[in-house]
Structure 1
Amino acid sequence: MGLFSWMESSLPFMGMVLAVTSLATNMIISKMAMSNGTSNFILSVYSNALATLILFPCGFLFHRSKRPPLTFSIICRIFLLASFGCLADIGSYAGIKNSSPTLGTELLNLVPGFTYILAIIFRMEGFSLKRSSDLSKSLGTIISICGASIVTLYKGPAIINKALTLNSSELLSSSQQNWVLGGILLAIAAFSTASWSIVQTSILKIYPAEMIIVAIYCLFVTTQSTIVALIAEKDLTAWKLQAEMGLFAVLYAGIVNITFRLYMMSWCLSRTGPLFVSLFNPLTIVISVVIGVIFLHEVLYFGSVVGAVILVIGFYAVIWGKAKESKMNKSTEVSNVESRSHEVPLLQDSV
């Protein structure tokens, strides 16, 4: 029973590791596809459309026996969720296009900080200056934002620069990259992702059918991103995936990054809350750097390393605060149970 209980409690952890691995890999694949001429707007439309086709039959089949009534209020909430998702999707693709997958994964460390701030605003997390756990989470959030600013505004010298000798690096490193613009877009995407977690958590509390929510969400994102693409892409030929890499990027994003990852995140959100889910984003740095530098010959800058270290320090400060808070809550629960157990015999004696 102990082994089963341990495995059950570790499922959200394993699920989030798989989710962030899918995200980091998608950033690399998407960057390669966009470097080969695939439009980031079209990539968002096609991948979400594919996810919708997969999730709708699966969702209603999976929840065919226990399906809560779908009200207009819930649909409106899902539409709001899709708006944040669409902004995060397009902002992330555009940010990576102007910078690199490594910068994209580094700025994901802003998600826990943004999530914590929003959770306080919407009273999903408590805050008190007298508690060391709350101070640690707050300082960690500020440190993370400082680290993100360094990563965005300061590149510095190249530490690993295989681009000088390898022609394939032109796919990922261009002299026309706009690092600051890419960083701003990725920061906006990080805030949208944090907002997505908060809204999704509130929806799951009143409509606990993860796959149906994600299916309707993908339908709304497809509609919204299509409108944006029609406005942004004046050239109709952009809608045709000319390169094999573009088709592969759509398939991977639609099946793995959206269908699998969003369902897994929603499942974990319903069991652990938004802050736990957001705390796994820094893992994408390791995965992206390994893939980008070793296999795809991406340039690694000194500013990225320094900023990433500061981001990780802020991240672990938030984790420490969250762990201390959890320990304090458990101690309070235990003391309450013990006090009640002492009170029962007294009541019995009086009877």
Structure 2
Amino acid sequence: MRTEEAGHRSKLLGLKSVTVIMVMVEFLDVGLNILSKAAMKKGMSNFVFVVYANALALFVLLPSSFFFYRRRTYPPLSWSLICKLFLVSFMSSGAQLLKFIGINYSSPTMASAMIDLMPAFTFILAVITGMEILDLRITSRQAKCIGTVVSISGALMLTLYKGLPLIRADASHSKLISLQLLLSSQTNWFIGGIVLAFQSFLLAMMHIAETWVIRDYPAVLMVTTIRCIFVTIQSAAISLIAVKGLNAWKLKPDIELIAIGYNVRDDLFQLYRLSFL
């Protein structure tokens, strides 16, 4: 009896820890959105940002994996698992690139709001793949369905209606703003919303696929390290095609370095989250 109670308490503690980590990730993600937007305004390329951020994360993950598995055994890697990790990494690369492209078109506020679509998309994909049973007689399932509808409705409203600026310009300045600029701004806002929505869908697919990989290969740190290696290689290959000129690869010792260093925390928190799967 005591053993069952201890196991139940341990499970509840684990769920609470995951919830706290997820809330912290959301708060920190807002900071990343703001810093990345500031870095892009200074001229930093979205593609270069993803490459440097993942390369820096490798400097943390590689030594950690070496020391962690130096005296431990881990399951052997199969070609099937490597192919699965490559596919998961490709989703991660695409999601990261789409995120910063969407922020560049819209704003950090839009990115922070649109990421709420990810749980909705995850629930829909889980139902489709059979990981989640859609039984509307259960209260928790009803809550998930309502939350999914509310999230998608809110995202559509935010994408289609930008709204008025909080700080209005003076009358003389307002007369200088042409209708063409206003339409261009609205178009960019809409494009950014669509890109960020697709990024949330790609993240949902990645998390489901990553869950399957972790269940087959429970060495979480190894999975995260290999994924980061693949993401760095994939994003570098894409960047070499998309980015012209060597000047784009030169980092400035200002907000650009801060944004790249701040982005490393994402892999560390995701690593902790995956350890509870």
What range describes the TM-score normalised by the shorter chain of this pair? 0.7 to 0.9
Deviations along 1:172-195, whole A, 9 cap, x unmatched? xx9765101111110111011101
**In the alignment, what sits opposite 2:129?**
122
Distance change (3 Å), C-alpha of 1:216 and 1:132: same
**In the alignment, what sits opposite 1:203?**
213
- Computed over aligned residues only, the root mean square deviation of the Cα atoms, in angstroms, reads 2.4
Kept after mapping to 2: 8 A contact 1:22/1:261: no
The answer as to 2:39 corresponding to 1:30 is: no
Q: Which moved more, 1:28-37 or 1:10-19?
A: 10-19
The 5-angstrom pairing of residues 221-240 of structure 1 reads 221-240=231-250
Q: Which moved more, 1:53-62 or 1:124-133?
A: 124-133
Q: Quick one: which of 197, 200, 208 aligns to 1:190? A: 200
TM-score by length of 2: 0.85
The 5-angstrom pairing of residues 180-329 of structure 1 reads 180-242=190-252, 244-253=254-263, 255-258=264-267, 260-268=268-276, 270=277
- Report the alpha carbon displacement of residue 129 of structure 1 after superposing the two structures with TM: 4.9
**In the alignment, what sits opposite 1:276?**
none
Deviations along 1:239-291, whole A, 9 cap, x unmatched? 111351111111221x3123x122123224x1xxxxxxxxxxxxxxxxxxxxx
- Report the alpha carbon displacement of residue 50 of structure 1 after superposing the two structures with TM: 1.0
Distance change (3 Å), C-alpha of 1:8 and 1:202: closer
**In the alignment, what sits opposite 1:105?**
112
Deviations along 1:287-315, whole A, 9 cap, x unmatched? xxxxxxxxxxxxxxxxxxxxxxxxxxxxx
Distance 1:257 1:196 in 2: 15
Deviations along 1:117-159, whole A, 9 cap, x unmatched? 111121110123555543442343233212111111101223x
Instruction: Give the 3-state SS of the residue equivalent to 1:37 in structure 2.
Output: coil
Q: Quick one: which of 61, 64, 69 aligns to 1:58? A: 64
Amino acid at match of 2:233: T
Amino acid at match of 1:15: I
**In the alignment, what sits opposite 1:77?**
84
**In the alignment, what sits opposite 1:309?**
none
Distance change (3 Å), C-alpha of 1:71 and 1:91: same
TM-score by length of 1: 0.68
Unaligned stretches of 5+ residues in structure 2: 171-180
Q: Name the larger-Rg structure.
A: 1
- Report the alpha carbon displacement of residue 94 of structure 1 after superposing the two structures with TM: 0.6
The alignment of Structure 1 onto Structure 2 pairs a total of residues equal to 257
Kept after mapping to 2: 8 A contact 1:98/1:181: yes
Amino acid at match of 2:191: L
- Report the alpha carbon displacement of residue 9 of structure 1 after superposing the two structures with TM: 4.6
Kept after mapping to 2: 8 A contact 1:56/1:216: no
Q: Quick one: which of 95, 102, 117 aligns to 2:102? A: 95
Distance 1:22 1:82 in 2: 22
Distance change (3 Å), C-alpha of 1:131 and 1:18: closer
**In the alignment, what sits opposite 2:178?**
none
Distance change (3 Å), C-alpha of 1:14 and 1:130: closer
**In the alignment, what sits opposite 1:321?**
none
Distance 1:180 1:243 in 2: 33
Distance 1:196 1:67 in 2: 23
Q: Percent identity?
A: 38
Distance 1:140 1:261 in 2: 25
Kept after mapping to 2: 8 A contact 1:85/1:221: yes
**In the alignment, what sits opposite 2:17?**
11
Distance 1:92 1:247 in 2: 18
